[in-house]
A and B are shown apart, each in its own frame.
Chain A
């Protein structure tokens, strides 16, 4: 089996428009969550989110592109450009024929649906723009990345709600590990912060009106974010032969299904995914120093996740650090695992563990070291990134320092 490394990373999210600015915010424990700004926000009961600010699509894309790019595609292309530039890869010939794009998104072009439903239902219009369908489809972002960067290998979009990006990255990893492709573009994006997107979430009554406080006893729900995280996964010898800078190694993964409830998480399902990822990566539980938690800030997720980690790690659960960066960038739904992978890269590469901010009160049901409020300087050799989706679909990635 081939070894897989990450040679490029790109992002745009509420904390920054690049990996550097996102790392800086994570180090400082800065929150990107604030008042939402979009049409009809006054009709929502949830008025906060991790919205991307200062992003002017007009300057980045031409008029023809703008008619085809929903905001989730714009985020994806912006992050992909950063990641591929960092990797230094150019896709021609055999590499182009084998390299593909596997991305995660839960909702795809949500604001395109929203705008056009408004137009036909509320404004009574009888026609919509001819490119509504290619703009809103869930695979639009993956397809535009393939076109923009000449990627002609296996390409598709994975949609498993909040685990979409982790499932996507697991697929990309597997393709390189088995020798199918020498390099893959992977990660995910989401942009649901529009009236219809937030209105749908309000209905579940699991959203917080003030802050995302994962693992804190006074937590009162999740806060939505938006953005993208995109990575270049590359076969190790391929990267080494060209002298590429390696950010970290992807060691393994596991996926599991709770087969239990459409919204309530299961400790057993999560624990099976965590243990499975350790096994696939060939790691002993005691080797893991950091977990980027799913950590949504809901009552149900956080206590279930802590119990699953305690089950999977046994006594070592009390030695490791587990933080939720959703406290800063919000929950990016289908894009969340991708942006959160950055926290693992920062821990492995720079030895800085991102904090769980907004942490105020100890919860005996979440009695792990959640790195409260301040980042920590610690050498981390191995890390996990958790994602547990609605529908009971779980995906956990295992990572290690650059070889």
Chain B
């Protein structure tokens, strides 16, 4: 699976949807994922990719990780993966 497919699978599982219902332009809000669901998604992403995502639930906008939509989350992860490599 590509990074995109893995991320979409994680988000789809959290949103109780099938991966085909999750598109790169979906926002987490569109998918019905609340703040607790978001924290769970980030945990699952960190476990899947063995990375540490800089995210503080108090100040999401100041975190160096863009959660605007699925595609921004994927590019954030790709950036972290390239830093790791």
Where the two chains meet, the residues of A that have a C-beta atom closer than 8 Å to any C-beta of B are 45, 203-206, 208-209, 219-221, 263-264, 298-300
Is B35 an interface position by the 8 A CB rule?
yes
Chain A hits for B39, CB < 8 A? 203-205
Of B6-14, B25-33, B50-58, B71-79, the one with at least 4 CB within 8 A of chain A: B50-58
Chain B hits for A203, CB < 8 A? 39, 43
Closest partner residue, chain A, to B52 (CB atom): A45
Q: Which 4 A-B pairs have the closest CB atoms?
A: A299-B58, A205-B57, A221-B58, A220-B59
Is B42 an interface position by the 8 A CB rule?
yes
Q: Is the CB of B35 within 8 A of A264?
A: yes
Is B1 an interface position by the 8 A CB rule?
no
Q: Is the CB of A206 within 8 A of B57?
A: yes
Q: Is the CB of A205 within 8 A of B56?
A: yes
Complex A-B: 19 CB contacts under 8 Å: A45-B52, A205-B39, A205-B55, A205-B56, A206-B56, A206-B58, A209-B56, A219-B58, A220-B56, A221-B56, A221-B57, A221-B58, A221-B59, A263-B36, A264-B35, A299-B57, A299-B58, A299-B59, A300-B58
Where the two chains meet, the residues of B that have a C-beta atom closer than 8 Å to any C-beta of A are 35-36, 39, 42-43, 52, 55-59, 62
Q: Is the CB of A204 within 8 A of B57?
A: yes
Chain B hits for A299, CB < 8 A? 57-59
A299 to chain B, nearest CB (A): 4
> CA separation between A298 and B60, bound complex, in Å?
12
A44 to chain B, nearest CB (A): 12
A141 to chain B, nearest CB (A): 31
> CA separation between A243 and B2, bound complex, in Å?
77
> CA separation between A203 and B56, bound complex, in Å?
10
Most buried by A among B36, B43, B58, B59: B58
Q: Is the CB of A220 within 8 A of B52?
A: no
Q: Is the CB of B58 within 8 A of A220?
A: yes
> CA separation between A45 and B39, bound complex, in Å?
15
> CA separation between A310 and B48, bound complex, in Å?
45
Q: Is the CB of B59 within 8 A of A205?
A: no
> CA separation between A45 and B56, bound complex, in Å?
11
